[in-house]
Amino acid sequence: MSVENLSMAKALNQGLRQALLADPKVLLMGEDIGPLGGVFRVTEGLHAEFGDNRVLDTPLAESGIVGTAIGLAMRGYRPVCEIQFDGFIFPAFDQITTQLAKLTSRHHGSLTMPVVIRVPYGGHIGAVEHHQESPEAYFAHTPGLRVVSPSNPHDAYWMIQEAIQSNDPVIFFEPKSRYWPKGDVDTSASGFPLHSTRVVRPGTEVTLVGYGPMVSMLLQAAEIAESEGTSVEVIDLRSISPIDYDPIVASVQKTGRLVVAQEAPGFVSVGSEIAATVTERAFYSLEAPVLRVAGFDTPFPPAKLETAYLPDADRILEAVDRAMAY
């Protein structure tokens, strides 16, 4: 077994490098990803190793980046696009939702679209407007797209490679608040398929479900709850579309209670979908209503107010207490 202690940014870098080595049809595209290595240095060193034809600096034109990637995919390439910040993805929204997501269906499966779009997303970095958003629900709602988000370096290393190997378009949301904390990465084995949900902490009384940046917060809340006498199970969704519901339903059948947490606003959200589906599939196991903890239904606030907007351990624990009160 080969285990390295890496940050998520470095794990993604190494995953991209392995994909470039494994398949000459893989290429990277994005603003400042070449010699600079990207704003978050995720592609650092890859331009020097693979050159201009494999790691391409693009103009500031997100629609053009994705449109070009679609054309490359039609010619047999596997482009990996970087959208520099979450709020910059909307100029490319039309290309993603009306072209990229639909082309395979439009061609009755004869044309594949192996395009990965990497999106740094979420808060907790004190950034300005358009740099701290959580737009994942827009893309999870769009048939034809796969949507995933790793929460730790090991998953980041393997999930980016699995996404690149997919013949369907994958929107790959990277929690930028988790770029720097380090964790063990087993480079010899993944352990989990791309679209699998994973139990990261066992418990018996309440199930907590989240993805991407929220998983570390859920684990923090679970530690506090444990110290106060409540056993909490934590589940990392990993894949936002499709969702692997079996581990979630099995957990709820055991605990009888579910709290879903996300940074994104709660209305018509991923958390809403999980709450509805679990209620349908495990209604008679529930001892309390499914509760949601989310960002507020407002535009993301200025940086000084982000801690009031984003869910923290206290808000999660308050939901746990409410669930236990039934």
Catalytic residues: 131
Six-digit token string for 106: 């439009």
**Sheet of 258-265, strand order:** 198-201, 232-236, 206-210, 258-265, 291-295
> What burial letters (b/e) apply to 184-216, b meaning 16+ CB within 10 Å?
ebebeebebebbebbebbebebbbbbbbbbbbb
Helices 153-165 and 8-22 cross at an angle (nearest 10°) of 30
Q: State the alpha helices, DSSP H only, in 169-326.
A: 214-227, 246-255, 270-282, 306-309, 313-325
Six-digit token string for 306: 């982000």
Calpha distance 125→134 (Å, rounded):
13
User: Closest by alpha carbon to 266, among 258, 255, 275, 257?
Assistant: 275
Query: What region does 30 belong to: left with phi over 0, alpha with psi -120 to 50, or beta?
Result: left
Six-digit token string for 4: 């390295």
